């Protein structure tokens, strides 16, 4: 999303909230201003930095709206919009996504019933409360109820694991297009966030129309949403894919700009301003000699000043005296200062992973034998592999979980397979962390295993204090080596345990227990912020796929990227260690 689009979105929200509050006339003024700003050829942030009068030159943008634009560019917020949000704390975007529900309806629903989100709207409709509001009726209520499921689906962000394969196929296709010189994903998918909005793709070409034509003719596209000379959108696998084509000399600048995050870019722009430089999607420019620039054309305004770079993304950072910052770190959590100080971490690379310590076989709910899984791991070049089938316990289907006797029997098969495979094969278990922190497998059985993964599978609605104490109790158990998917979350399905990650990270570091990044893209648990807490506490991370078949080993990349979002280096991840060091860690 460009800065112009971002400002336009905020002004549109401003209009909706004014209308919901019963304000007349003003909402339409804000909507017209939003449309004109979105279509304006000059970057609104650059105009705002030259003064409010420059913003007011945009058609239908008066002094009141221009002042809010300048306020947002300078502070990252609009105070009056914040006040509107506070006075009517509704999810107006979600509610107005329901067909037949406009801003005025949202205002009435909040005033009469206190409805703030889709869940409350659905509950009120099911209870027959909406029909009792003046001006509403049974038919309106039923229409709202009927349209909520689609609205809810449209509001939901896509899981990274669903979107990334689509992005990879788009990239592969565009790389083969003759007119394309360079192509890369941008936005949250390039930062490897666990959920994304749309798939954003950026291409460099001297013939943008040829690229757009090829893109819209992609045989995997379900339908084309829109197509212009430089931008196009289509739908593939029920996901929106947005393509933007730029000239090659500005590809690096556009890639940096459209990768985000917004907070990262705002802080980076402030660094540029302090150095009398300008940073935008067209390049980085020295503007120290432009104290009082004369009126210029729109084309000139976007690129005025002495150009310092923009063809390569690294040039954007180098021109500001910064080391290049990996996309995964661009969340404004200290990465810019670290880049200035030359103290960015040497982030983990996928090639450093030497094995998987959480996998399943046909002994529990896996689909392959112990030997098949071990051989597949060896074929990947791994040096070690652990079989950790489910133990019985709360949250595990009785027919799936292994009893203590089953685990002892499985040990014999593990021993036999060790002689057949060229890999260090470890026998383990995924035991259950019960609600009180106890484990579902007997201590004497755990003591005989090579590796113990303890995971929560039930009672995931505990409060933060109880959940944190529960995990710490399991961490302190002498047999536990790894806490598997620590919150138990399923992305876009359930939130999982509300854990105090700083406290859990400190506890794990103290007791020498690794915390897992479960690389299953439906989990990605730990998430990046929690990984950062572990790294800062001096603890250790395990990256495991929770594989139930060899194909799932490929999901390790999602775990690696999540670790990178948490500033993890190879040394922080036990899967990068050799077998001797690993066995020393899990036996201590």
| Alpha carbon distance 299, 309 (integer Å) | 17
CATH number of 266-341: 3.30.210.10
For residue range 290-314, list pLDDT tens digits in order: 865 444 445 566 788 999 999 999 9
Dihedral sign computed on CA atoms, order 420, 426, 427, 432: negative
| Alpha carbon distance 163, 255 (integer Å) | 19
| Alpha carbon distance 216, 392 (integer Å) | 51
Q: The tokens of 117 are what?
A: 């989100």
pLDDT in tens, the chain (588 residues): 456 777 888 999 999 999 999 998 899 999 989 878 876 777 888 888 888 998 998 888 999 999 999 998 888 889 999 999 999 999 998 898 787 899 999 999 999 999 999 999 999 999 999 999 999 999 999 989 988 886 776 566 888 998 999 999 999 999 999 999 999 999 999 999 999 989 999 999 999 999 999 999 999 998 999 999 999 999 998 789 999 999 999 999 999 999 999 999 999 999 999 999 999 999 999 999 886 544 444 556 678 899 999 999 999 999 999 999 999 999 999 999 999 999 999 999 999 999 999 999 999 988 799 999 999 999 999 999 999 999 998 878 777 899 999 999 999 999 999 999 999 999 999 999 999 999 999 999 999 999 999 999 999 989 999 999 999 999 999 999 999 999 999 886 677 899 999 999 999 999 999 999 999 998 999 999 999 999 999 999 999 999 998 989 999 999 999 999 999 999 999 999 999 999 999 997
φ, ψ (nearest 5 deg) of residue 105:
-65, -40
pTM of the model: 0.77
For residue range 31-90, list pLDDT tens digits in order: 989 878 876 777 888 888 888 998 998 888 999 999 999 998 888 889 999 999 999 999
Whole-angstrom Cα Rg for the chain: 27
Cis peptide before 427 (omega within 30 of 0): no
Between helix 26-39 and helix 63-75 the angle, nearest 10°, is 60
State which fold the 3-155 domain adopts.
DNA polymerase; domain 1 (1.10.150)
Residue ranges per structural domain of the chain: 3-155, 158-246, 266-341, 350-587
Query: At 146, is the secondary structure helix, strand, or coil?
Result: helix
Cα angle: 463, vertex 464, 470; to 5 degrees: 90
State which fold the 350-587 domain adopts.
TIM Barrel (3.20.20)
Secondary structure element (H or E) that encloses residue 451, with its range: strand 451-455
Residues 484 and 504 sit within 8 Å (Cβ to Cβ): no
| Alpha carbon distance 92, 94 (integer Å) | 5
Residues 535 and 361 sit within 8 Å (Cβ to Cβ): no
CATH number of 158-246: 3.30.460.10
Query: At 433, is the secondary structure helix, strand, or coil?
Result: strand
Residue 542 pairs in a beta bridge with 516
Secondary structure element (H or E) that encloses residue 426, with its range: strand 424-432
């Amino acid at each position: 999303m460009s800065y112009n689009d971002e400002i336009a979105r905020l002004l549109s929200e401003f209009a909706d909230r004014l209308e919901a509050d019963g304000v007349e006339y003003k909402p339409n003024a804000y909507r017209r201003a939003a449309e004109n700003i979105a279509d304006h050829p000059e970057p609104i942030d650059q105009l705002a930095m030259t003064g409010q009068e420059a913003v007011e030159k945009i058609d239908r943008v008066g002094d009141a709206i221009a002042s809010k634009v300048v306020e947002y560019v300078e502070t990252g917020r609009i105070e009056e919009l914040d006040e509107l949000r506070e006075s009517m704390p509704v999810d107006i975007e979600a509610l107005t996504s329901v067909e037949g529900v406009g801003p005025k309806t949202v205002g009435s629903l909040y005033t009469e019933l206190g409805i703030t989100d889709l869940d409350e709207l659905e509950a009120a409709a099911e209870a027959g409360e909406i029909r009792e509001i003046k001006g509403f009726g049974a038919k309106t209520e039923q229409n709202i109820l009927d349209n909520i499921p689609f609205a809810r689906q449209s509001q939901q962000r896509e899981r990274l694991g669903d979107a990334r394969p689509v992005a990879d196929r788009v990239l592969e296709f565009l790389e083969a297009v003759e007119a394309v010189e360079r192509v890369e994903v941008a936005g949250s998918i390039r930062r490897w966030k666990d959920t994304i909005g749309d798939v954003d793709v950026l291409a460099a070409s001297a013939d943008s129309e040829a690229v757009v034509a090829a893109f819209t003719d992609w045989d995997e596209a379900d339908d084309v949403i829109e197509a212009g000379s430089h931008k196009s959108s289509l739908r593939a696998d029920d996901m929106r894919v947005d393509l933007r084509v730029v000239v090659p000399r500005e590809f690096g600048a556009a890639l940096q700009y459209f990768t985000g995050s917004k907070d990262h870019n705002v802080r980076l722009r402030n660094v540029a301003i302090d150095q009398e430089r300008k940073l935008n999607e067209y390049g980085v420019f020295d503007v120290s000699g432009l104290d009082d620039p004369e009126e210029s054309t729109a084309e000139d305004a976007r690129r005025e000043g002495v150009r310092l770079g923009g063809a390569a993304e690294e040039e954007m950072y180098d021109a500001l005296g910064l080391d290049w910052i990996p996309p995964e770190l661009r969340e404004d959590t200290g990465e810019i200062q670290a880049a200035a100080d030359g103290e960015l971490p040497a982030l983990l690379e996928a090639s450093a992973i030497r094995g998987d310590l959480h996998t399943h076989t046909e002994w529990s709910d896996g689909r392959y034998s112990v030997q098949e899984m071990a051989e597949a791991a060896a074929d990947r070049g791994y040096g070690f592999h652990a079989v950790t089938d489910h133990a019985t316990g709360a949250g595990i289907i009785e027919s799936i979980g292994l009893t203590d006797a089953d685990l002892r029997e499985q040990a014999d098969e593990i021993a036999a397979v060790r002689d057949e495979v060229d890999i260090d094969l470890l026998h383990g278990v995924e035991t259950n962390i019960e609600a009180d922190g106890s484990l579902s497998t007997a201590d004497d059985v755990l003591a005989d295993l090579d590796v113990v993964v303890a995971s929560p599978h039930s009672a995931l609605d505990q409060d933060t204090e109880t959940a944190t104490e529960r995990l710490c109790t399991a961490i302190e158990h002498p047999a536990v080596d790894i806490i598997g998917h620590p919150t138990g979350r399923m992305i876009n399905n359930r939130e999982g345990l509300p854990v105090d990650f700083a406290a859990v990270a400190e506890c794990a570091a103290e007791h020498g227990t690794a915390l897992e990044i479960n690389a299953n893209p439906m989990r990605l648990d730990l998430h990046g912020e929690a990984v950062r807490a572990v790294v800062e506490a001096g603890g250790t991370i395990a990256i495991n796929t929770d594989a139930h078949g060899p194909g799932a080993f490929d999901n390790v990349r999602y775990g690696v990227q999540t670790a990178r979002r948490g500033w993890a280096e190879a040394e922080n991840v036990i899967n990068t260690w050799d077998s001797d060091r690993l066995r020393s860690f899990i036996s201590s």
